[in-house]
Structure 1
Amino acid sequence: MRKVFTQAALAGRSVTELRALFAAVQQELVRSEAGSKECRDALASLDNISCAIKHRLRGPGF
């Protein structure tokens, strides 16, 4: 993985786009070596993407 996806970078994406990105990052995680920087970056990205999806599904004000 080249970078960690931040909340700011995910802000303009739809739930559909976020789910596709989540799947792609999961595949990168599978291909990464345990404990490597790529593995840590993928895990951080998955956490951020998951939070973004939850936020979109809950809607504003919740």
Structure 2
Amino acid sequence: MKKIITTSDLQNSPLEELKVAFNKAQQDLTKSEPNSPERRNALASIENIRRAMNSRHIQRPKPPGF
């Protein structure tokens, strides 16, 4: 992974796109060499994608009575 996927890149992405990006970043991570810039970028991207996915879950309205 050459470029870090930033939170601003992800802010308008629907959950399904985030899942695809997460899987791609994980694949890039497995192909990267230890301590390489590509590995660091993949790890940073995964963390950013996780945060974006979590924020989508938090922002969902709760059903009445909960």
TM band (smaller chain)? over 0.9
Match runs of 1:33-52 below 5 Å: 33-52=33-52
Higher helix share: 1
Give the alignment's Cα RMSD to 1 decimal. Answer: 1.0
Sequence identity (%): 38
- The TM-score normalised by the length of structure 1 is 0.92
Q: Which whole-Å deviations, capped at 9, do the CAs of 1:18-42 have from their partners, x for residues lacking one?
A: 0111001100000000110000000
Q: Which whole-Å deviations, capped at 9, do the CAs of 1:4-59 have from their partners, x for residues lacking one?
A: 01100001100110011100110000000011000000000000000000001110
- The TM-score normalised by the length of structure 2 is 0.87
Q: Considering only CA atoms, is the larger Rg found in Structure 1 or Structure 2?
A: 2
Is there any run of 5+ residues in structure 2 with no aligned partner, and where? 61-66
Is there any run of 5+ residues in structure 1 with no aligned partner, and where? none
Runs of 4+ in 1 over 3 A off after TM superposition: none
